[in-house]
Structure 1
Amino acid sequence: MYKQKKERILCDILNAYHDLKKPDFHFVMETYNSLKYKEVINDIYSLFRFKVKDNTDLNYDVCISLEFDYLNKSMCLYLSLVSTYAFLLYDDKVIDCHDDVYQSFTNLIDILFSNNFVLLKKNELLYEFDIDTSPFSVKDKKASILGLLFSFGLSVN
């Protein structure tokens, strides 16, 4: 990942949590209830017409988790509440612009890009910061972008 992008992500993480030794999670509900996120979610629901399952768990995660079917398999879209980052997971694989599946979801990608979301790739999600995760009530978890932007309960292969 480019150094500048890593620095931008770390800056967004610090802006959201305020203090990583005593993280402030007030941003979660504020962002979730913001007009921007409501509009994005409404646009996604209108795109898939009631085929979207909301798996969001705001008690444990700092993201919105939406699931829908594509070719008889589940696809998940994760929208970070820390800042405007997202990723798509299909068939246990993080999808990027080089995947055929990506081309099938141009309308979804357009919605995300028009709302300034950045789609992260697998290697970006797995990047780890040298941050103590004990204030996040997780044991033996590394401070990966995936955990800090989305959920320490998620994993990607």
Structure 2
Amino acid sequence: MHPKINQIFHDILNAYGNLKKPNFHFVMDSYNSLKYQSILHDIYSLFKVIDNTDLNYDFCISIQFEHYNKPSFLYLSLVSTYAFLYYENKVINCIDTMYHEFSDLINILFSYGFILLNKNELLYEFDIDTSPFNVENQKALVLALLFSFGLSISENI
């Protein structure tokens, strides 16, 4: 297992406490923390943002903004300081040509210690039972455990 994946699994265990009986108190604790409120303030200063966050079902802050008149999506995990940026049906990473177009946003993320995940990391599947999360037939993807079982990204892009 890749060292970053090991760290992600450690962070998941640390947040949920016990994967057989997950404790979701971290969601509101993280959301209300000064760190998350500060980063949101900084992001809101860059863009006109639509907040799609649903703290009843998700483990992330979900925001939408326009970039070149196209919708862009940023997801900030409340499990730990992980994020991903989704634009034009793909996850933006450091080798993507659009990466530099989001440099101000990425600099904000990095200044708060967030790690920008790529598609392969998000689609990594842990061998754990997800039934305690009250989801049926869902894979234990990093995407689901860090952000939301309701999110999906294309594996083909």
Q: Deviations over 1:48-71 (max 9, x none)?
A: 1xx100000000000000100112
Aligned to 2:120: 123
Aligned to 1:73: 70
Q: Secondary structure of the equivalent of 1:112? A: helix
Structure-2 separation of matches of 1:116 and 1:125: 18
Structure-2 separation of matches of 1:6 and 1:92: 24
Structure-2 separation of matches of 1:70 and 1:4: 33
- Whether 1:133 aligns to 2:130 is yes
Aligned to 1:114: 111
Q: TM-score, normalised by structure 2?
A: 0.96
Contiguous gaps of at least 5 residues in structure 1 = none
| Amino acid of the structure 2 residue aligned with 1:73 | K
- Whether 1:94 aligns to 2:104 is no
Shift of 1:72: 2.0
Q: TM-score, normalised by structure 1?
A: 0.96
The worse-fitting range, judged by mean Cα deviation, of 68-77 and 114-123 is: 68-77
Q: How does 1:15-34 map to 2 (within 5 A)?
A: 15-34=14-33
Shift of 1:97: 1.2
Structure-1 separation of matches of 2:46 and 2:66: 13
| CA RMSD after TM alignment | 0.8
Structure-1 separation of matches of 2:97 and 2:46: 19
Give % identity. Answer: 66
Structure-1 separation of matches of 2:2 and 2:104: 30
Structure-2 separation of matches of 1:35 and 1:100: 33
Shift of 1:96: 0.6
Q: Secondary structure of the equivalent of 1:104? A: helix
Count of aligned pairs between the two proteins: 154
Structure-2 separation of matches of 1:102 and 1:92: 14
Contiguous gaps of at least 5 residues in structure 2 = none
